[in-house]
Structure 1
Amino acid sequence: MELSGDTSCIAAARRLAAEFLARAGTEQHVDVSDHALGLTQLVVSELVTNARRHAPGPALMELRIADSTVEVTVQDSVPVRPTIHASDPQRIGRHGLEIVAAVAADFYVRLEDTGKRVTANIALTDPSAPRPPEP
């Protein structure tokens, strides 16, 4: 999905992520917990917001199922590694990447000649959910 224009693309990206996970569940029989859906939408919101706020020009979002995770990648035009600020409950704002890094099973940034790709993997199952009994 190309992300351009005003901030309405953030809501559109969240909807796209929910639709993608719903299709993965129905078409590919991928188990997606409600917890994973919520975290994925949160991560999408934070990464897209950062791309729109800090990078000129269009940005791209890619979603894919990778093993037992959903991989969320947002690519923008600024080839500078974003800063994850140290936890500070007194700070107002700039918590987005701190949140993403905390909830993601994996988080990394790849710099490219044309910008960067920020990727977060979200577990599709809720690790705190009780497991069904073994047969």
Structure 2
Amino acid sequence: MTHDVPDLTSRPDADTRIAVLPHLATAATACAEARRFVAEHLRRWNVPYQVSDTVALLTSELIANAVRHGQPPLCLQLDVDDHRVRVEVSDSNPVLPVLPRSDFEAVGGRGLWLVDTLARASGCTPWPPGKVVWCEVALIAAQRWARLGPDRDRGPSPERSVAPTRVLSVARFRTGRRRRR
């Protein structure tokens, strides 16, 4: 399934590519539809597979949280420049997400933890009538990693080699502050 959403370059930087899925279903199919949309655009924009796989996973987590805790309408925006891929998911629920304390025996509740762990930056911004939850994944490390050639599958993933595990920040999701690594 292809989405006929035009590539927009509404920002001053001509190298920025933006795609918007303006009306995302609040059903069980929303995550799959969002992953397909993201994968199609990232492939069209020649984003390395290491990054596109991570972005697809994080998109799925953000959409799943919006479907479960948010209110329609849901909107997905994908924004790529020379340094990063940014995913934004908006909904109409003004309540900001909170990074929960991990319960290792719980069946769910790890979506924001995955976003916090794998994304270079992430957060939440109030946006009337609701909010925008976003994350960014770096492109630079993956481009360097891809240049290694056919042996690139050996060793740690580019995300792990650039960003070691760190303590999770709960306040960032409550306040909407932006975090950079």
Report the TM-score when normalising by structure 2: 0.64
Distance, in Å, in 2 between the alignment partners of 1:131 and 1:56 is 43
Q: Which residue of 48, 60, 67 corresponds with 2:63?
A: 48
**C-alpha spacing 1:110/1:5, structure 2 compared with 1 (3 Å):** closer
Q: Can you list the C-alpha shifts for 1:9-59, whole angstroms capped at 9, x where unaligned?
A: 21011011001101111xxxxxx2222111111011000111111122220
1:1-135 equivalences under 5 Å are 1=21, 2-25=23-46, 32-124=47-139, 125-126=141-142, 129=145, 132=148
**Contact 1:107 / 1:120 at 8 angstroms: preserved in 2?**
yes
The AA in structure 2 aligned to 1:126 is A
* Partner SS for 1:126: helix
Distance, in Å, in 1 between the alignment partners of 2:99 and 2:75 is 21
**C-alpha spacing 1:57/1:130, structure 2 compared with 1 (3 Å):** closer
Q: Can you list the C-alpha shifts for 1:88-112, whole angstroms capped at 9, x where unaligned?
A: 3222201101100110000010012
The higher relative CO (CA closer than 8 Å, separation ≥ 6) is in 1
Distance, in Å, in 2 between the alignment partners of 1:87 and 1:128 is 33
Flag structure 1 segments of 5+ consecutive residues without an equivalent. 26-31
Structure 1 vs Structure 2: percent identity of aligned residues?
Answer: 33
* Partner SS for 1:70: strand
More displaced, 81-90 or 58-67? 81-90
More displaced, 121-130 or 9-18? 121-130
Distance, in Å, in 2 between the alignment partners of 1:127 and 1:83 is 32
Distance, in Å, in 2 between the alignment partners of 1:116 and 1:44 is 16
Distance, in Å, in 2 between the alignment partners of 1:57 and 1:107 is 22
Distance, in Å, in 2 between the alignment partners of 1:17 and 1:91 is 29
Distance, in Å, in 2 between the alignment partners of 1:122 and 1:24 is 15
Q: CA RMSD in A?
A: 2.1
Flag structure 2 segments of 5+ consecutive residues without an equivalent. 1-20, 149-181
Deviation at 1:131, TM superposition (A): 6.0
- Count of residues in Structure 1 that have an aligned counterpart in Structure 2: 127
Instruction: Give the ranges of 4+ consecutive aligned residues of structure 1 lying more than 6 Å apart after TM superposition.
Output: none
**Contact 1:86 / 1:98 at 8 angstroms: preserved in 2?**
no
